[in-house]
A = this chain, B = another copy of it.
């Protein structure tokens, strides 16, 4: 069974750019998170559901490597993969491509951990969420 990835599009708006005429590097992390949100939505749940269970998903690591700039009006294809799925955390991988030119722009990852909002401790990712994530996971640890 091949591993699935999730794709979504992001249109670069003017407010994403900086005085170099390109998307500010910090906004790639916002695009990563936006792709993550759309991924959860595509699986039928959202950060709001997590909150209702007393869970949230803080980031513990975030990394991006920039190859080419994105500019105003560019249509970006975000590809998300689940690099590692663990009991209490996961590593999400991202690739950013210019949809129109097919230029590869950036890649990166975020490690997110399930956490109990009351206690602040790491918590298990709920079983039915794990089931939905498995088809996307390169490694299940």
What residues make up the interface of A, taking CB atoms closer than 8 Å to B? 13-15, 17-22, 24-27, 29-30, 33-34, 37, 41, 46-48, 56, 58-66, 69, 71-73
Please indicate the chain B residues that have their CB under 8 angstroms from the CB of A59 in the complex.
25, 66
CB distance from A37 to the nearest CB of B (A): 6
* Contact (Cβ within 8 A) B62 A64: yes
Q: Chain A's interface: helix, strand, loop or mixed, by majority?
A: mixed
Residue of chain B at shortest CB distance from A115: B20
Please indicate the chain B residues that have their CB under 8 angstroms from the CB of A65 in the complex.
60-61
What CA separation (Å) do A37 and B61 show in the bound complex? Answer: 24
Please indicate the chain B residues that have their CB under 8 angstroms from the CB of A21 in the complex.
19
* Contact (Cβ within 8 A) B30 A26: yes
* Contact (Cβ within 8 A) B64 A61: yes
* A and B contact pairs by CB, cutoff 8 A, 15 listed: A13-B33, A14-B33, A15-B24, A15-B33, A18-B18, A19-B21, A20-B56, A25-B58, A25-B62, A29-B29, A37-B73, A48-B73, A59-B66, A61-B65, A63-B64
